[in-house]
């Protein structure tokens, strides 16, 4: 049994913490929102009065927070008070630069650290099947693996500090671009009088095949479990897709990478969000492309 501090018990953090409790760990949780603490308590998390109290006796500290500024401010507070040699795991999706700063804060206080963002959404968090993309030293990764296992379907060591965040935003840039591509193809097919099913049957077994088509098909029918069949209820909300596309564009700018389709995808999701669809599944972009937002 390990004592784990879990800070950030929102849509993702709460089910992740619940899986750690189920695996037999002592989980000390903290969140700013009292309603999230109530849920955590129901899952067997020991709710603490603040982040410092949660961290005090913890061997491992996991953060699952909205953005880089939250992670850095929490790290500045808790790293000086953490147990000597504790392991810090940040699973939030944040910019690569902040992730590297978080590693530096940890190192300054003699702590092991990895950035370990996830893919798989709230469903994967509840089922314990998240993919973790980890960045950090080999020692930190080896120390983190047993803690990540009860929450994970797959754990990949992507490289040094910040490599997990880099993998996450590159993957989600592919996802945003590919969803727009698939949605555009269905919109064109409609204009050409081609049925959704016919396009799906051909493209899903041809060179147009991709996850956005075969798992998350943006029209109802061909893939019964895709959000299009439930009025585009997320799933993966358009606001989170926009967040990740913006992170990829910031990273592209600071690294000097040319990503014109990533930039265009960010622009389209910004317009979709601005029309009030931040809570719509990101595959709902098809309705925006038809000129008939969901
Ligand atoms: P959320 O908003 O539901 O949860 C974030 C929690 O952090 C909130 O409960 C908030 O009160 C808490 N918080 C903020 N500042 C805090 C502080 N200083 N101390 C303690 N708690 C604090 O968000 P979420 O959906 O759980 O996402 C968390 C992270 O995971 C984000 O970085 C997101 O991009 C990433 N992510 C989300 C999904 C998803 O499908 N929801 C999928 C993959 C990755």
235 lines ligand 1 (CB under 6 A): no
52 lines ligand 1 (CB under 6 A): no
Domain ranges of the chain: 3-160, 166-289
Question: How far are the Cα atoms of 165, 177, 213, 219, 236 from residue 250, in angstroms, in the given order?
Answer: 13, 16, 27, 31, 21
The crossing angle, in degrees rounded to 10, of helices 260-272 and 238-255 is 150
Q: Compute the distance between CA of residue 69 and CA of residue 75 in angstroms, rounded to an integer.
A: 10
Interior/surface letters 263-283, b for 16+ CB within 10 angstroms, e for the rest? bebbebbeebbeeebbebbbb
Look at residue 294 and tell me whether its pLDDT is greater than 80: no
**pLDDT score at 160:** 98
Q: Which of 8, 71, 79, 240 to mutate to test the pocket of ligand 1 (most atoms within 8 A of CB)?
A: 8
What is the architecture, at CATH level 2, of domain 166-289? Orthogonal Bundle (1.10)
**pLDDT score at 293:** 54
47 lines ligand 1 (CB under 6 A): no
168 is catalytic: yes
ipTM of the complex: 0.99
Q: What pTM does this model have?
A: 0.94
DSSP sequence for 259-285: -HHHHHHHHHHHHHIIIIITTSBGGGH
pLDDT tens digits for range 132-181: 999 999 999 999 999 999 999 999 999 999 999 999 999 999 999 999 99
Closest to 196 in 3D by CA, of 216, 176, 219 = 219
Q: Compute the distance between CA of residue 193 and CA of residue 183 in angstroms, rounded to an integer.
A: 15
Structure tokens at 136: 């950090």
CATH for 3-160?
Answer: 3.40.50.720
| Ligand 1 atom nearest residue 14's Cα | 26
Structure tokens at 158: 């992507």
Choice among 22, 69, 168, 191 that is catalytic? 168
pLDDT tens digits for range 189-208: 999 999 999 999 999 999 99
Closest to 21 in 3D by CA, of 37, 3, 33 = 3
Q: Give the pLDDT mean for 72-91.
A: 98
């Amino acid at each position: 049994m390990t004592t784990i501090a879990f800070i950030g018990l929102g849509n993702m953090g709460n089910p992740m913490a619940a899986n750690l409790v189920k695996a037999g760990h002592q989980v000390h949780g903290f969140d700013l929102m009292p309603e999230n603490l109530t849920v955590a308590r129901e899952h067997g998390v020991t709710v603490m009065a603040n982040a410092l109290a949660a961290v005090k006796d913890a061997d491992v500290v996991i953060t699952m927070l909205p953005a880089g500024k939250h992670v850095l401010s929490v790290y500045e507070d808790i790293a000086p008070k953490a147990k000597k040699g504790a392991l810090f795991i940040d699973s939030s999706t944040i910019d690569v630069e902040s992730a590297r700063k978080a590693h530096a804060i940890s190192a300054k206080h003699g702590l092991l650290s990895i950035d370990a963002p996830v893919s798989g959404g709230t469903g994967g968090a509840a089922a314990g099947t998240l993919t973790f993309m980890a960045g950090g030293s080999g020692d930190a990764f080896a120390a983190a693996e047993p803690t990540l296992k009860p929450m994970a379907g797959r754990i990949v060591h992507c490289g040094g500090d910040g490599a997990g965040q880099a993998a996450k935003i590159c993957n989600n840039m592919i996802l945003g671009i590919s969803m727009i591509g698939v949605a555009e193809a269905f919109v064109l097919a409609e204009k050409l009088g081609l049925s959704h099913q016919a396009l799906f049957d051909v493209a899903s077994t041809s060179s147009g095949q991709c996850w956005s088509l075969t798992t998350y098909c943006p029209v109802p029918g061909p893939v019964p479990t895709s959000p299009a069949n439930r009025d585009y209820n997320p799933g993966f909300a358009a606001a989170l897709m926009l967040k990740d596309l913006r992170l990829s564009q910031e990273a592209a700018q600071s690294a000097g990478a040319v990503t014109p389709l990533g930039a265009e995808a960010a622009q389209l999701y910004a317009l979709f969000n601005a029309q009030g669809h931040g809570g719509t599944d990101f595959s709902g972009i098809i309705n925006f492309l038809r000129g008939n937002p969901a």
